[in-house]
Amino acid sequence: MKPLLQMAERERASKRLTELREQIAYHNHRYYVLDDPEIADSEYDRLFRELEELEARYPDLATPDSPSRRIGSAPLEQFAPVRHTLPMLSLENAFDEGELFDFETRMRRFLNLAGPIRYYAEPKIDGLAVELVYENGLFTLGSTRGDGLVGENISANLGTIGNIPKQLPALPAASPPPRLEVRGEVCLTIAGFKALNRQRTAAGEPLFANPRNAAAGSLRQLDSAITAARPLEFFAYGVADPAPLGVASQQELLQRLAALGFKIIPNGRICADLTQVIDHFRHLGTLRHQLPYEIDGMVAKVDDLALQRRLGAKARTPRWAVAAKFPAVQATTRLLAVEFQVGRTGAITPVARLEPVQVGGVTVSRATLHNEDELRRKDLRIGDTVLVQRAGEVIPEVVKPVVEKRDGSQGEISLPGACPECGTPLVRKAGEAVTRCPNSRGCPAQRLRALIHFTGKAGLDIEGLGKKAMEQLAAADLVRDIPDIFRLRAEQLAALPGWGEKSAANAEAAINARKTVELARLLAALGIRHVGEVTAQLLARRFNSLAGLLQAEEHDFLDLEGIGPQAAAALTTYFADSANREMLRQLEEELGLKISAPPASTRAQPLHGEVFLFTGTLARGSRQEAKNRVKELGGQVATALNRKVTHLVCGQSPGSKLAKARELGVAILSEEEFEQLLARVGG
């Protein structure tokens, strides 16, 4: 009977291993490639730990392609591949102090060492791991970790990060070697993350779940201008090969990198033994909510580089480093109800009303459920015990129901068929995750949120007209539409509860100060779907005036690099709408709004009016660098062959665009001819 039981257990283990590998591969793709995870890190760690434990129990069931032997995920096809000189490995995790002692025990056994081991311990910043290559002190290449062996070439995007040195100093005591491969983490501060999500809310775009995903999404932009507009920072934590630097310890290595101009992760320290490592881990746990950036634990590395070399690495992790992870900032509570909020663009967002619970030092009574698909995927019921976390230490969210605690009393969640604010039937377009109220003009919730956006920080930032003030003005029927804001007078405001003569006068002065506004700022404030700060700047530079935008057609928007079909359609619809055109006319003609064009570039614009399209692989540099040079000289870059393209630049294997360009009579340039053209016009 016993062999039969063992066979059954083995069969169950084999089946579970297959399930775990599929789940982890899926979540790796969501996390590393799409920058859009579906589960909390703690839930992913639980799945990964279960996989490792089952493979340890049944080693013959382990497979060569198991996630336990791989790092990250394959690079995206949109970026050129970069093979790392030495693999960029992942880190072994420790979830409690006992696992830290196990980690050291394994090292001692491997080294046959009885004496103390000194460590360097630093916060584990939650960002995107990258590698920067310097040749003779010059930054020449930047890439993501990718699958550990091959990453993505994101040199142009990394070059926009202000604190990444472009040239290393030649110091007597710290001169860079002929080739230096610096590794570190690109991250967003929590303040930067909040600001970015405010912009995305303004543009009607999905929010980033946490700073890590925001940083990764920012670095994977095909337009470096978008990356440049985001407040990214780089922290160095090591190099591929420390030997050329002539240092003996991890601490010396970081000191040398700091002398070369790199920002080093703050709050790192030398620990004489594992007890001090644990003390520092506890100390960082008390600091984590006060730090300007998000950390999810601490990394402890053997300080002695000679010991690091002796220890070497396993399939996916070094033997000389461990990531001590903080407990997830999570708690369980009860789901009391689900309310449906109407956003500025009509998006219907389900919001969980919870029994108040402490999560990471903050009382949480409401949490986002994102959209209908997310609600269904999590299979939530009214009355469920649910797991709640503060994602990115910022946004409370419901992770999942605790199904084991269901007792049959839980009720189904009814999804509304009509707008909870105006009663209009809701619509959901094919391919979109969001259900919307289409009554943009008649829905009071949409009108109010559009007004709040217009006067808020993502809009014109009119001092004194914040969210509460706009709610009060709308309730008093003083402001129904954007032009009403500019009709407000101090005496009207002073008559409202909570206002005095001084605050009313200050608000009127602030309104008048915004009667001169840059075109890009006005466009961002109008709240057009898919149009945030970066897109607004692109539009202002291209069309130069509100009149130019009102005359534009959809193909004019599509011709702009960085504007896709959704944004182009939204812009066309917005500026074709007679009510919107009348509102803009009132602002300019009746209320005296002065809309200023973007400042003229002081650079020569020899390629003004020329439109370039690139095809094939460029041998002399990255395609993004070539695009940037065209834009710097006043030209435009197209994403597809159309009637406005004037030049097709062909690299290796140009594909079908070459034949079509010949048919259209487009000027065709080799890469060498393109370089010669730039040299002639001053590029």
Active site residues: 124
In the beta sheet, which residues pair with residue 436? Answer: 347, 427
Which strands sit side by side in the sheet containing 647-650, from one edge to the other? 636-637, 611-615, 647-650, 667-670
Report DSSP state, residue 148. Answer: S
Task: Give the integer Cα–Cα distance in Å for 373 and 337.
Answer: 18
321: helix, strand or coil = strand
540-to-96, 226, 324, 550, 615 alpha-carbon distances in Å = 54, 15, 48, 12, 28
Burial bucket for residue 320 (CB in 10 Å: 0-12, 13-18, 19+): buried
71: helix, strand or coil = coil
Contact 119, 270 (CB under 8 A): yes
Burial bucket for residue 545 (CB in 10 Å: 0-12, 13-18, 19+): middle
Contact 283, 295 (CB under 8 A): no
Looking at the chain, how many residues does it have?
683
Contact 647, 613 (CB under 8 A): yes
Q: Which residues contact 315 (CB under 8 A, 6 or more apart)?
A: 68, 69
Radius of gyration of the chain measured on its C-alpha atoms = 28
Q: How is the chain split among helix, strand and coil, in percent rounded to 5? A: 40, 20, 40
Contact 512, 519 (CB under 8 A): no
Assigned token pair, 262: 């790199």
Alpha helices in 242-358 (DSSP H): 250-259, 274-287, 305-311
Task: Give the integer Cα–Cα distance in Å for 94 and 99.
Answer: 5
Q: What is the dihedral of CA 504, 506, 508, 511, to 10 degrees?
A: -140
474-to-345, 489, 524 alpha-carbon distances in Å = 18, 15, 22
Contact 522, 598 (CB under 8 A): no
Q: How far apart are the first and last CA of the chain?
A: 81
Task: Give the integer Cα–Cα distance in Å for 534 and 17.
Answer: 45
Assigned token pair, 35: 């920058």
Task: Give the integer Cα–Cα distance in Å for 384 and 386.
Answer: 6
39: helix, strand or coil = coil
Contact 595, 546 (CB under 8 A): yes
Assigned token pair, 242: 């420390």
Contact 513, 532 (CB under 8 A): no
Map 251-274 to HEC letters.
Answer: HHHHHHHHHCCCCECCCCEEECCH
In the chain, the amino acid numbered 315 is A
312-to-108, 151, 316 alpha-carbon distances in Å = 13, 22, 11
Within a 13 Å sphere around the CA of 165, how many CA atoms are in the beta-carbon half?
23
Task: Give the integer Cα–Cα distance in Å for 398 and 354.
Answer: 10
Task: Give the integer Cα–Cα distance in Å for 21 and 530.
Answer: 36
